[in-house]
Amino acid sequence: MSLEDYTRAGQIASIVRENTRKKNHVGRTLFEICNSIESEIESLGGHPAFPVNISLNEIAAHYTAEPNDQIVIKEDDVVKIDLGVHINGFIADTAVTISYDSRYDQLIKTAELSLSEATKIAKHNTKSSDLGKVIENTITNNGFKPIQNLSGHSLEQYIIHAGKSIPNIKTYGSSFSLSSNHAYAIEPFVTTKQGLGVVYEGKIKNIFSLISRKPAKNKDADEFISFLWNKFRTLPFALRWLVNEFEEPKARELLDYLLKKKNIRAYPILVEGNNQVVSQAEHTVFIAETSSHIITK
């Protein structure tokens, strides 16, 4: 477990997040924003741990720009930008919500406040259920709803979702405790009182990850599997990351083939159940024996 790599990844992620927060994105395309953030990560010596997620309004998560995506940010959009940086596979995961419409200020502040309250108590042996309770109480006390079926997660080398979930609501029954020498992403998602507080999978899927290197018994597909493994290991990737190496129709065909063969998985966009606006905030915390480090602060 490399605290040095986590710390460096966290420093880069926080610089890029804060630069992103300060920019005026109105009129910019999603393609331009994703590319510029990922290029900045590389320029600072990191690698994107997953494609930048840029999810607008009622889309809570898992949208990234399509190749040459021409969707443009508008004045009244609520823009969630979720970015990850890895150094040698050790991942810092962080997110910010941006809007230029004052109607959404409180929604955005509540996500940040619930994250702040949760990170204050995130230490060795803190129960995940206690984190969920603090997040839900902060959100509801401010007049909003948490998204109950989205959660934070444990991180491992080259694994973005490493099996443990940190809830954004009070949970009952068994609950795991945070362990020293492990990293966890804490990420509250907040919606309005009119929201369902649940997300559903949408039709769009443009983020993928390799889950099996089992031969697909097709020469092109097997070469594609090798390419994906050498380039991304088990980390998520985007279709737009492939089009420099493959013609776009060929890349889509290979992705479809490997989805059917279950060599890769797709991450559908996640949409608020009543199509209400969602905000998000996220930090990665590294837990030591006697202290904890918010590596993306």
Question: Tell me: the pLDDT tens digits for 37-71?
Answer: 999 999 999 999 999 999 999 999 999 999 999 99
Is residue 182 annotated as a catalytic residue, yes or no? no
Angle at 53 between CA 50 and CA 55, to 5 degrees: 165
Q: What is the pLDDT of residue 238?
A: 97
Residue type, position 113, single letter: L
Element spanning 83, H or E:
strand 78-87
Catalytic residue among 25, 62, 86, 153: 153
Closest CA to 187 of 90, 103, 270, 73: 270
Beta bridge partners of 243: none
Average pLDDT over residues 138-157: 97
Q: Which one from 124, 161, 182, 293 is the annotated catalytic residue?
A: 161
Residue 289's pLDDT band, with cuts at 50, 70 and 90, is: confident
- Using 50, 70 and 90 to split pLDDT, how confident is the model at 220? very high
CB 125 within 8 A of CB 289: no
Pick left, alpha or beta for residue 3 (phi over 0 → left; psi -120 to 50 → alpha; otherwise beta).
alpha
Question: Any idea what DSSP says for residue 210?
Answer: E
- What is the pTM assigned to this prediction? 0.95
Q: How many CA atoms lie within 13 A of 40 on its CB side?
A: 19
Q: How far apart are CA 138 and CA 16, in angstroms?
A: 27
84 neighbors 209 (Cβ within 8 angstroms): no
Collapse the DSSP code of 282 into the 3-class scheme (helix H, G, I; strand E, B; otherwise coil) and give the result.
strand
Across the strands, what pairs with 83? Answer: 94
Q: Which CATH code is given to the segment(s) 3-200+278-294?
A: 3.90.230.10
Give yes or no for residue 267 having a pLDDT over 90: yes
Span 185-207, average pLDDT: 97
What's the pLDDT at 174? Answer: 80
* Confidence bin at 81 (pLDDT 50/70/90): very high
Residue from 69, 93, 136, 272 carrying the catalytic annotation? 93
Residue type present at position 119: T
Active site residue 82: yes
Its CATH class, for the domain covering 207-269, is: mainly alpha
Q: Do the domains 207-269 and 3-200+278-294 match in fold?
A: no
Residue 131 near residue 144, CB atoms below 8 Å: no
Q: Is 245 a catalytic residue?
A: no
Of the pLDDT bands very low, low, confident and very high (cuts 50, 70, 90), residue 155 is very high
Provide the 3-class DSSP secondary structure of residue 154: strand
Cβ within 8 Å of residue 248, ≥6 positions away: 67, 239
Q: Say what percent of the chain tops pLDDT 90.
A: 95
Q: Is 156 a catalytic residue?
A: no
Map out the domains of the chain as residue ranges: 3-200+278-294, 207-269
For residues 248, 251, 256, 257, the Cα torsion angle rounded to the nearest 10 degrees is: 140
Structure tokens given for 51: 């494609």
Nearest in space to 151 (alpha carbons), one of 272, 260, 280: 280
Alpha helices in the chain (DSSP H): 3-22, 30-43, 105-121, 128-141, 219-232, 248-260
In the set 5, 38, 77, 82, the catalytic residue is 82
Whether 161 is catalytic: yes
Among residues 5, 38, 77, 187, the one annotated as catalytic is 187
Helix (H) or strand (E) holding 84: strand 78-87
pLDDT band at 173 (very low <50, low <70, confident <90, very high): confident
Q: Is the pLDDT of residue 1 over 80?
A: no
Residue 178 is given by DSSP the state: -
Specify whether 86 is catalytic.
no
Average pLDDT over residues 227-238: 96
pLDDT score recorded for residue 2: 82
| Average pLDDT over all residues of the chain | 96
Neighbours of 119 (CB within 10 A): 20
Closest among 16, 21, 58 to 37, alpha carbons compared: 16
pLDDT of 199: 98
